[in-house]
Every structure is written in structure tokens, then in C-alpha cells.
Amino acid sequence: MQTLHLKVDPDNPNPKIIEIAAALIREGETVAFPTETVYGVGANGLDEKAVRNVFKAKGRPLNNPLLMHVMSWEQASSLVTDISEEVLLLVNRFWPGPLTLVARANDKVPPLVTAGLPTVGLRMPDHRVALDLIKAAGVPVAATSANLSGRPSSTSARHVLKDLNGRIAGVLDAGSTGWGIESTILDITRPPFTILRPGAVSRERLEEVLPGLIAATKPGAEERSRLRAAHYRPDARVIPVKPGENLAQLAQAEAARGKRVGVVVVGDQELPTLVDLVVVINGGSAEYGRRLYEIFRLADSRKIEYLFMEIPEETGLGVAVADRIYEAARR
Ligand code: TXA
Ligand code: MG
């Protein structure tokens, strides 16, 4: 399959280019597109055969559900049941934006999208290109991050093509994504609403809207273990280092054994010598999140064997960054 590379202006995409991609969606093909978090790859979410192509392109196991990407709350609510007043407060505050809501699915949603679960993840991306695409396609788009299964998410069309060239029908290329880290996934099926995956909307921001109604991830919850089935993992062995531990010394010791070593540190501090890759994060967790997957891919291209990564302070966006680093470290 030849993958069409369709360049568009992120703020004012050419409707003719959008229509080329939308027509592919309507024909049951797979298209990658930018969102405000990472690139997604999706297909007509109401057509089971089309949805199957998304799993095939990514090599994604069929038991790992996709998210329904929508262009309005109206479209989202046509797919689910039992929406409470509290949920509407979240939608008003955070949509469009990086908050995915897991709600009870109705029978319009093909079981393949939800991997047989009674619930479906609803996501309205805050990106003009994604919204225009979904609108022009005229259907909700069942999508997932645009990477090969088990690889880091893609924050540019270059990453998408590296993983999926020849495996998808097209990619809308609008440059780099904003947040760089995926949406927050919130289970709204019963109170308190549970964060299944920390992401670009922090727990603190959710609690501003619904004080006392937001619970952190329940370790061991069934949904959570499903999330853990496909984690983000570069080739390098990732070693999380807590602030206060001597990262420079740990890295130096590995380098002295002849290993190819990379380090990622937060702010001003002692740097190890003799290592093969040094990344310094000066802009806090926002910058760390934005650069995280690029750093994983860079480490791979430099053939790094051990990547020592400082864990940022675990508040706000730092919770999501820390989560992705710990996931990457799991073997
Ligand atoms: O920011 C994002 O959320 C990006 C952009 C492209 O929208 N999408 C994304 O999709 O990260 P994906 O498939 O890589 O991650 C979605 C996660 C998966 O781990 C999946 O298991 C989980 O959401 N998920 C999907 N439906 C679910 C459900 N009904 N209950 C629990 N978890 C669900
Ligand atoms: Mg993913």
C-alpha cells in the first residue's frame, strides 16, 4: 500500500486536502492525523471491517480497545448511555481537549472498537485538522496512537511514517503535536470517577471542576491491566531515577563498563562525562512531556543500551510523565 503524505496548515487546513483524507475514511481505509497530544491513526468507527484495518496496521492485539474520536458532544453522546450532570461539567470545561471519557457504550458501537468491553472511550481532540477530518468523514473515527504496537507514540508525521509507511492509506501532516503526551483517561461509569491513565489534563485540574469526585488509578483494576498490556518501550533499557539519587554516578558506572549510556536530567545539575547522550529538561514537566517520545526515539537511533531518566516531581503534568517513564522501564 502506498501511504499518501498530505501536508496541511495546522490552523487553517485546506478543505480539499481534508476531503481526500475523509474520503479514504469513508471508503474503509486507515488515516493518520494530528491531535493536540500525539498523532492518531483511525478508521470509520461504525464500520467493523474498517476498524479491523487499524488493528492490522499497528499490529495491535484485538483485545486492546480503540478510542472513538468525535467532533462534538452531540456525536459522542449518540454512542453512550447514562451520562450524569457531573460529566457535562467536565465536557464543558475540557472539551475539545485531552480528556478521554470512558462511558457505557450503546449498541451503535461495534464490539471490535471496545474489544468486547461494555464501555467505550470518547475523545474530542483540540486540533483543527482532526476535527475537520472527523466532520468531513461524517462518522466517529475509531483511533489509537499512530505507532507500531508497543512502540513510543508519534509526535510528528515523520515518526508516523517511520512506523506505519506502507501500512496505512494516508497521513495528514500538520507538524509537531502540542502536548506530546497522551490524553488523560477517566472512567465516568460510576463515582468517584477514576483516572485510568494520567495524561495531559492533571488530576488537580479535574478536581477544580469536581472536588472530591476524582480518584487516582486503582492498581490492579481490570481496565488498568488492559492499559498496561501495551506500554511504551524504547529499545534502550530505561532506568527511572528519583530526584535526590545520584544519576550522574549511576550512569557513569554503566559507561565505565563500556555500555552505551544516555541520561535525561531535570534542571541544572552535575552531568556525567563519557556518556553517549545527554538531554537536559529546563522547562519543567510540560517540556518533559513534549519531548519524551522524541527522546525515546533518539535513544534508539543512537543505539543507547541504558537510558537513565530522572523522574520529575509527581504533581500536575509530572504524574503523566512519571507514569510513561515507569511504563517504559517495565520489562
Ligand atoms: O491522546 C490520546 O489519547 C491519543 C490520541 C491519538 O487521541 N490516543 C491514544 O490512544 O493514546 P491509545 O490507543 O494509544 O491509548 C488508549 C488507551 C489504550 O491503552 C486502551 O487500552 C485504553 O485507552 N482504552 C480504550 N478503551 C478503553 C475502555 N473502554 N476502558 C478502559 N481503557 C480503554
Ligand atoms: Mg498508544
Pocket probe for ligand 1: among 227, 324, 327, the residue whose CB has the most ligand atoms within 8 Å is 227
CATH code, 284: 3.40.50.11030
* 15 and 87 part of one domain: yes
Is 79 within the bounds of a domain? Answer: yes
**Do 244 and 210 sit in the same domain of this protein?**
no
Pick the last residue of a domain from 193, 225, 257.
Answer: 225
To which H or E segment does residue 68 belong? Answer: strand 67-69
Q: Please report whether residue 109 resides in a domain.
A: yes
- For residues 255 and 214, membership in a common domain is answered with no
Q: Give, in order, the Cα–Cα distances in Å from 238 to each of 114, 148, 197, 308.
A: 31, 19, 20, 6
Residue 250's domain comprises: 237-329
pTM as predicted: 0.95
Ligand 1 binding pocket includes 185 (Cβ within 6 Å): yes
Where a domain ends, among 200, 225, 250? Answer: 225
Residues 255 and 131 in one domain: no
Long-range contacts of 274-277 (CB under 8 A, 24+ apart): 275/251, 276/302, 276/304, 277/302, 277/304, 277/307
Question: Is the same domain home to 216 and 249?
Answer: no
- 185 and 297 fall within a common domain: no
Question: Using a 6 Å cutoff on CB, does residue 114 contact ligand 1?
Answer: yes
Report the alpha-carbon distance of residue 257 to residue 188 in Å, rounded. 50
Q: From the CB of 188, is ligand 1 less than 6 Å away?
A: no
CA distance 132 to 135: 5
**Does residue 103 share a domain with residue 61?**
yes
Per the domain annotation, does 319 fall within a domain? yes
Is the Cβ–Cβ distance between 192 and 47 less than 8 Å?
no
The proportion of the chain whose per-residue pLDDT surpasses 90, expressed as a percent, equals 89
Condensed to tens digits (0 to 9), the pLDDT of residues 122-165 reads 999 999 999 999 999 999 999 999 999 988 899 999 999 999 99
Distance CA(181)–CA(325), nearest Å, equals 11
How close is the Cα of 85 to the center of ligand 2, in Å? 30
Calculate ∠ Cα 189-194-200, nearest 5°: 115
* Residue 70 placed within a domain: yes
Do residues 110 and 194 both lie within one domain?
yes
Query: Which atom of ligand 1 lies nearest, measured to the CA of 182?
Result: 1
CA torsion angle 320 43 67 225 (round to 10): -80
- The verdict on residue 99 lying in a domain is yes
205 & 287 share domain? no
Instruction: Give the tens place of pLDDT for each residue, 192-212.
Output: 999 999 999 999 999 999 999
Ligand nearest to the CA of 181: 1
**Best probe residue, ligand 1, of 33, 94, 182 (max atoms within 8 Å of C-beta):** 182
Same domain, 263 and 217: no
Which residues of the chain register pLDDT less than 50?
Answer: none
- What pLDDT is attached to residue 330? 85
Q: Does 255 share its domain with 157?
A: no
Residue 40 Cβ < 6 Å to ligand 1? yes
pLDDT at 221: 57
Q: Which ligand is nearest to the CA of 179?
A: 1
Q: How many structural domains does the chain have?
A: 2
Pick from 137, 119, 120: nearest CA to 129: 137
Domain end among 196, 225, 254: 225
Q: Pairing between strand 193-197 and 184-187?
A: antiparallel
Please indicate whether residue 262, judged by its CB atom, sits closer than 6 Å to ligand 1. no
Whether residue 230 lies inside any domain: the answer is no
User: What pLDDT score was predicted for residue 233?
Assistant: 78
Is residue 49 a part of any domain in this protein?
Answer: yes
Torsion sign, CA atoms 46, 52, 58, 60: positive
pLDDT for the residue 198: 95
CATH value at residue 144: 3.90.870.10
pLDDT at 123: 98
Answer whether 226 contacts ligand 1 (Cβ < 6 A). Answer: yes
The answer as to whether 232 is a domain residue is no
Q: 94 and 119, same structural domain? A: yes
